[in-house]
Amino acid sequence: MLAGFTSLDPTVRLVVVLALAAGIYVVSGLIWPYTACSACTGGKHASPTGKNWRNCGRCGGSGKKLRLISRLLGRS
Ligand SMILES: [Zn+2]
């Protein structure tokens, strides 16, 4: 199978690799729908002292964000 793959036209090979990567991306979006919120750490916005914090407004204090691919796939 690998020998057949390497004998493919470089353009076709690129398309195959991209399709595989896209497939893995979609499957990972189904298995792991969340990513870390980029606006906070663990759902908290810490004060300079680090002792106080407020909940993050973007993720509602959960610290997680639904990934784009997962939203497209209808996960919530
Ligand atoms: Zn957040």
26-37 confidence digits (pLDDT tens): 999 999 999 999
Ligand 1 centroid–CA 56 distance in Å is 4
Per-residue tokens: 28: 């990972």
CA 6 – ligand 1 centroid, Å: 45
Q: With bands split at pLDDT 50, 70 and 90, how would you rate the model's confidence at 1?
A: low
Structure tokens at 10: 């470089």
Q: Is the pTM of this model over 0.85?
A: no
Q: 45 CA distance to ligand 1 centroid (A)?
A: 8
Q: Which residues contact 59 (CB under 8 A, 6 or more apart)?
A: 37, 39, 40, 43, 65
pLDDT more than 70, % of the chain: 96
From the CB of residue 40, how many other CB atoms can be counted at a distance below 10 Å? Answer: 21
Distance 23 CA to ligand 1 centre (A): 28
